[in-house]
């Protein structure tokens, strides 16, 4: 007897519900037009209302229910277009494609990021074809003897690459994937380690594209100074690092991650039956490959991207290093840095004669194809953000904060953290959340006020937390691409871990509102995090996974 799997039933039920909703909404179009008295609606009644967050909520919910990220994002985009046009068919069509997808792809910053991704995909292909990844895997297998060692090495590498989260995700993924595969670490766990060492590391690194972004929202050139003062209060980022190390050392796993890890250890199935996005990026067993074939391109990439970042900030025109980095354009810097690295890598491989020119040219379309899933998701995520922006989602949240948050001064850090989490989760962007909440916070508190510094840090921590949890976040998408892990699998397995750190961070911000002293607050937060993990480990069982938390 043939039965339909539960996950398949859920998927079709979810899609049927959405189609039914669309049918009802479009059927109501004539009546709505009649109420307004004109076909072209001059005023959007959904602007700056809770409805502005509906497209993102629909996309996220459908992605988690149906496990289909592309269709879920597109449904959210269409819903945004419908709300913006007051359910006009023509208005929906033009807004979705002209103002959404086409505008997102025409944006210079976005195009730079896409070029960076394509070049990075080509570099990974070249390193695999040259046998560099396989050689590094063989070398690391001799040096790294355990699963714990492989996870700690991944964390260490992610911590060292603090320049930019995109660069972090794809570089750490390409380097550590063969190592973790040999130790039977699931791709879901690798994706979590990559994601947790991307934005959380960048947001506490003074020399990073994130520090530059945060600094740009502060007037009078005090941005970097404020950023550094806020680091000890960035509880979510610091606690995420503590949590990663604890999990790697103790072997603690819970939620769906425990299932994936047990399947990987016992059966050698790194994907738990869910195939990765791009099988074509598997390692090539080139006997000529050596470890330097992997290490040299990575080192050149790091150096080139740093130079590209400060170049975009005007360093070579007489601007100081700090000011150049603060004013840098991550899109331009990463694109130029990766392009220079590609040229140097090709010349290096040709000089070594490790691969032929024909094989190099073959890697170009293969590298592009390997990044198509990530590019498609990013395009849809950017388009969805354009939809929520056009509906005034940012302005709605801003008014809510101004209206309700001022009366709870001691609880304000925790409130701002929660709002930043929700806004970043719904929109999939940390930097946009910074832009909304940091100016509001600085308008409430003076720059030198201790509580103001804590609130600014809460903005950053909440934005990273929401970004970490959101399936439409570009960093989350990049982590999936770097680990070559199914995107929805990565989101669903990471969510319990991120929520654990978020809850402890929320409590820590309540404490810091009453005791604004980092020397007291940070140790308390770390102890709370470790205590929570110890309790979880006790409840779940000692590494066995037999009584895992669901």
For helices 393-404 and 372-390, what crossing angle results, to 10°? 60
Q: Which residue has the higher pLDDT, 159 or 61?
A: 159
Q: Which two tokens stand for residue 335?
A: 């694109």
Whether 80 has a pLDDT exceeding 60, the answer reads yes
Is 356 contained in some domain? yes
> Does a structural domain hold residue 397?
no
Candidates 471, 479, 504; CA nearest to 202 is 479
Whether this prediction's pTM lies above 0.85 is answered by no
Q: What is the pLDDT of residue 430?
A: 78
CB 467 within 8 Å of CB 475: yes
pLDDT at 53 over 90: no
Helix (H, G, I), strand (E, B) or coil at 274: coil
Is 381 a residue whose pLDDT tops 80? Answer: no
- What residue spans of 231-291 are helical by DSSP H? 235-250, 256-267
- What percent of the chain is predicted at pLDDT more than 70? 79
Residue 169 and residue 63 share a domain? no
Indicate if 18 and 143 belong to the same structural domain: no
> Over the chain, what is the mean pLDDT?
79
CB atoms within 10 A of CB 268: 9
Q: How far is CA 467 from CA 102, 420, 489, 495, in A?
A: 24, 10, 16, 11
Better-scored residue on pLDDT, 548 or 385: 385
Report if residue 548 sits inside a domain. Answer: no
Give me the pLDDT at residue 346, please: 94
| Integer CA distances (angstroms), 458 to 195, 227, 422, in order | 20, 12, 13
pLDDT at 330: 72
Residue 426: what pLDDT?
Answer: 78
Q: Are 118 and 367 in contact (CB under 8 A)?
A: yes
List strand residue ranges (DSSP E) for 79-139, in order.
none
Do 170 and 306 lie in one domain? The reply is yes
Q: Count how many domains the chain has.
A: 2
Mean pLDDT of 96-113: 87
The pLDDT assigned to 455 comes to: 87
User: What is the pLDDT at residue 10?
Assistant: 53
If asked whether residues 133 and 86 sit together in one domain, one would say no
Question: Domain for residue 396, yes or no?
Answer: no
33 confidence band (pLDDT: 50, 70, 90)? very low
Residue 375 has pLDDT above 70, yes or no: yes
Task: Average the pLDDT over 444-451 and give the result.
Answer: 70
Please check whether residues 131 and 169 belong to one and the same domain.
yes
Q: Which domain holds residue 12?
A: 6-106
Summarize pLDDT for 176-201 with one digit per residue, the tens: 888 888 888 999 999 999 999 988 98
Asked if 476 and 430 count as a contact pair (C-beta separation under 8 A), the reply is: no
Tell which phi-psi region holds residue 445, choosing left (phi > 0), alpha (psi between -120 and 50) or beta: beta
| Mean pLDDT, range 135-149, rounded to an integer | 81
Q: Is 260 within a domain?
A: no
Cβ proximity of 210 and 165 under 8 Å: yes
Distance, CA of 478 to CA of 178 (rounded, Å):
18
Check whether residue 194 and residue 323 sit in a common domain: yes
Same domain, 202 and 315: yes
pLDDT score of 368 more than 70: yes
> What is the per-residue pLDDT for 494?
92
- In a domain? residue 70: yes
Instruction: Quickly state the pLDDT bin for 115 (edges 50, 70, 90).
Output: confident
Q: Are 118 and 369 in contact (CB under 8 A)?
A: no
User: pLDDT value at position 344?
Assistant: 95
Query: Quick one: tokens of 497?
Result: 């871990």
Mean pLDDT of 46-53: 86
pLDDT of 245 over the 50 cut: yes
Distance, in Å, from the CA atom of 542 to the CA atom of 540, rounded to the nearest integer, reads 7
- C-alpha 413/C-alpha 460 separation (Å) is 11
Residue 67: what pLDDT?
A: 63
Q: Do both 32 and 90 map to the same domain?
A: yes
- 60, 95: one domain: yes
Mean predicted confidence (pLDDT) in 477-491: 87
Using the structure block, give the residue that is written with the tokens 């996005």. 277
98 and 205 housed in the same domain? no
Residue 408 falls inside a structural domain: no
pLDDT at 374 exceeding the cut of 80: no
Which of 374, 407, 430 terminates a domain? The answer is: 374
Out of 98-112, 269-283, 335-349, 423-437, least confident range: 269-283
pLDDT > 80? residue 141: no
Q: In the listed set 72, 106, 140, which residue is the last one of a domain according to the structure?
A: 106
139 belongs to a structural domain:
yes
Quick one: what percent of the chain has pLDDT higher than 90?
21
Which position has the token pair 């993924």?
173
Mean pLDDT along residues 95-100? 91
Whole-number pLDDT of residue 350: 93
Closest by Cα among 124, 131, 178, 120 to 352:
131
Average pLDDT for residues 138-161, to the nearest whole number? 84
Q: Are residues 333 and 317 in the same domain?
A: yes
Asked if residues 209 and 328 have their Cβ atoms less than 8 Å apart, the reply is: yes
Exposure string for 177-201, b = 16+ CB within 10 A, e = fewer: bbbbbebbbbbbbbbbbbbbbbbbb
pLDDT of residue 392: 84
- Note the maximum CA span of the chain: 75
- The closest of 236, 208, 227, 216 to 453, measured between CA atoms, is 227
Alpha carbons within 13 angstroms on the beta-carbon side of residue 422 total 16
pLDDT tens digits along 459-482: 899 989 998 888 878 788 888 888
Q: Provide the pLDDT for residue 6.
A: 47
Q: Tell me the H-state helices in 371-429.
A: 372-390, 393-404, 412-427
Q: What is the pLDDT of residue 64?
A: 64
Burial class (CB in 10 A: 0-12, 13-18, 19+), 151: buried
Are 132 and 28 members of one domain? Answer: no
Q: Give the distance, in angstroms, between the CA of residue 214 and the centroid of all CA atoms in the same chain.
A: 17
Q: Write down which residue in 46, 79, 106 finishes a domain.
A: 106
Per-residue pLDDT band at 550 (split at 50, 70, 90):
very low
């Amino acid at each position: 007897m043939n039965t339909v799997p539960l996950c398949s039933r859920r998927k079709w039920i979810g899609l049927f519900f959405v189609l039914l909703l669309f049918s009802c909404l479009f059927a109501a179009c004539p009546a709505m037009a009649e109420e307004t008295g004109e076909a072209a609606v001059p005023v959007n009644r959904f602007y700056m209302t809770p409805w502005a967050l509906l497209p993102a909520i629909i996309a996220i919910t459908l992605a988690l229910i149906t496990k289909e990220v592309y269709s879920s994002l597109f449904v959210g985009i269409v819903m945004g277009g419908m709300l913006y046009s007051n359910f006009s068919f023509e208005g929906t069509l033009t807004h979705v494609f002209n103002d959404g997808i086409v505008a997102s792809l025409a944006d210079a910053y976005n195009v730079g990021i896409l070029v960076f991704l394509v070049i990075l995909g080509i570099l990974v292909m070249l390193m695999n074809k040259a046998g560099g990844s396989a050689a590094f895997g063989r070398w690391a297998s001799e040096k790294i003897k355990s699963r714990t060692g492989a996870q700690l090495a991944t964390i260490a590498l992610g911590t060292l690459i603090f320049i930019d989260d995109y660069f972090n995700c794809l570089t750490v993924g390409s380097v550590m994937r063969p190592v973790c595969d040999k130790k039977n670490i699931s791709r879901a766990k690798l994706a979590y380690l990559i994601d947790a060492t991307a934005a959380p590391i960048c947001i506490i690194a003074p020399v990073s594209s994130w520090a530059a972004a945060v600094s740009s929202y502060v007037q009078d050139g005090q941005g970097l100074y404020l950023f550094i003062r806020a680091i000890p209060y960035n509880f979510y980022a610091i606690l995420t690092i503590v949590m990663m190390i604890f999990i790697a050392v103790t072997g603690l796993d819970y939620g769906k991650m425990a299932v994936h890890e047990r399947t990987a250890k016992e059966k050698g199935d790194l994907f738990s039956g869910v195939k990765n996005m791009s099988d074509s990026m598997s390692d090539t067993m080139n006997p000529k490959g050596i470890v330097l074939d992997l290490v040299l391109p990575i080192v050149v990439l790091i150096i080139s991207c740093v130079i590209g970042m400060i170049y975009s900030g005007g360093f070579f025109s007489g601007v100081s290093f700090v000011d150049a980095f603060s004013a840098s354009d991550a899109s331009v810097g990463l694109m130029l840095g990766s392009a220079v690295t590609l040229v140097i890598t090709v010349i290096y491989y040709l000089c070594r004669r490790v691969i032929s020119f024909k094989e190099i040219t073959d890697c170009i379309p293969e590298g592009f194809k390997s990044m198509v899933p990530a590019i498609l998701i990013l395009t849809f995520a950017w388009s969805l953000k354009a939809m929520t922006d056009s509906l005034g989602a940012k302005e709605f949240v801003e008014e809510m904060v101004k209206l309700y948050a001022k009366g709870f001064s001691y609880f304000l850090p925790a409130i701002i953290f929660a709002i930043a989490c929700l806004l970043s989760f719904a929109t999939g962007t940390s930097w946009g959340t910074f832009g909304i909440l940091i100016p509001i916070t600085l308008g409430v508190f003076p720059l030198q006020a201790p509580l103001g510094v804590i609130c600014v840090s809460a903005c950053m921590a909440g934005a990273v937390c929401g970004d970490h949890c959101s399936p439409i976040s570009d960093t989350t998408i990049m982590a999936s691409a770097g680990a070559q892990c199914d995107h929805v699998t990565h989101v669903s397995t990471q969510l319990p871990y991120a929520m654990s750190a978020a809850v402890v961070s929320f409590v820590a911000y309540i404490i810091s509102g009453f005791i604004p002293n980092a020397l007291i607050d940070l140790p308390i937060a770390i102890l709370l995090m470790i205590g929570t993990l110890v309790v979880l480990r006790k409840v779940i069982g000692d590494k066995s996974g037999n009584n895992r938390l669901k």
